[in-house]
Amino acid sequence: MLKKRIIGVVLVKDGIAVQSIAYRKYLPIGKPSIVIEYLNNWGIDEIILNDISATRNNYPPNFKLIRESTKNSQVPITLGGGINSIDHINTLMKCGVDKVVLNQSALINPSFIHESSQIFGSQCIVVSLDCIKVGTNYRLYDYLKNQSLDFSPIDYAIKVQELGAGEIFLNSVDRDGSKLGFDTILISQIKNNVNIPVIGCGGAGTPEHFSKTFSSTKVGALAAANIFNFFEHSVTIIKAIVSRDHTVRCDTQNNYFDNKFDHQGRLNKKKDDILEKLLYLKIEEEKI
């Protein structure tokens, strides 16, 4: 059975991993390669590395940084930012990248989706949709101009699927950095109109947000950035909580399947007698 995917997003601005709030405010976190190494070690299912400054500055992808960053990941890495030619994708494939996210290049030149998916296969081409609520409807959003476009995300999603996109990376601008939870209405609207995988993103604040969104929509993958950087043991805790209602992959030596959590999803302390036993428990590290 296919597992629900929990995806970590690493936003990079001018070579530094950052936290994003509503696409307007950015706080520094550190080196992207370190963030990726940690996510990988914690057992994340996939990583999306998104350079939000490349296209804005009219730079190609930062190949050196990307090559350095992918080295310590044994989970799939999807790269976004600054990609506007077949050559870029070719070079990225040689930097340890598995898939690419197209945003501006697909918006400006939709035939690029078709062209690239013919060469690299649909499974390699992810198209990113930034969406914002305008009145009661959703509209596409142009992050470079910081404004909404007069274009429905549903129509665009159907179009990119026809052009050969293999996945849709769906971002809610309103929920970005808000910790209010995923926009389940937006996710359902897009998901119910396409037949390719959709990755929902934007607003994850607690582990419950993941399991609730998996339950109330048909989405197969959810992504988040900030929660993984600012919430201890977040990957393991999210997987433990989601696993109560859905199947997830667990490849790490420890899991919190038997643990109890408080209302915010923080770990409760185990009983003293259990801790006592743990004190003398020897866990052999497997050498592969």
Residues that bind another protein (CB under 8 A): 1-3, 5, 40, 43, 45, 67, 70-71, 74-76, 93-99, 118-124, 166-167, 195-197, 218, 220-221, 249, 251, 286, 288
CA atoms within 13 A on the CB side of 280: 4
Nearest to 46 by CA among 241, 261, 201: 201
- Least distance in angstroms from the C-beta of 198 to another protein: 8
DSSP state of 281: -
Phi, psi dihedral angles at 78 (to 5 degrees): -110, 135
- The nearer residue to another protein, 118 or 137, going by C-beta atoms, is 118
Helix (H, G, I), strand (E, B) or coil at 132: strand
Cβ proximity of 200 and 209 under 8 Å: no
- The nearer residue to another protein, 150 or 286, going by C-beta atoms, is 286
User: Of 14, 45, 51, 130, which is the active-site residue?
Assistant: 130
- Least distance in angstroms from the C-beta of 148 to another protein: 28
> Positive or negative, the Cα torsion across 187, 188, 191, 193?
negative
- Least distance in angstroms from the C-beta of 92 to another protein: 9
DSSP state of 264: T
Which ranges of 79-206 does DSSP label H, i.e. alpha helix?
86-93, 104-108, 111-120, 153-163, 184-191
- Least distance in angstroms from the C-beta of 122 to another protein: 6
- The nearer residue to another protein, 37 or 142, going by C-beta atoms, is 37
- Least distance in angstroms from the C-beta of 188 to another protein: 14
Does 251 participate in catalysis according to the annotation? no
Residues in the chain: 288
Beta strands in 103-148 (DSSP E): 125-134, 137-142, 147-148
- The nearer residue to another protein, 1 or 281, going by C-beta atoms, is 1
Cβ proximity of 200 and 224 under 8 Å: no
- The nearer residue to another protein, 98 or 142, going by C-beta atoms, is 98
Active site residues per annotation: 130
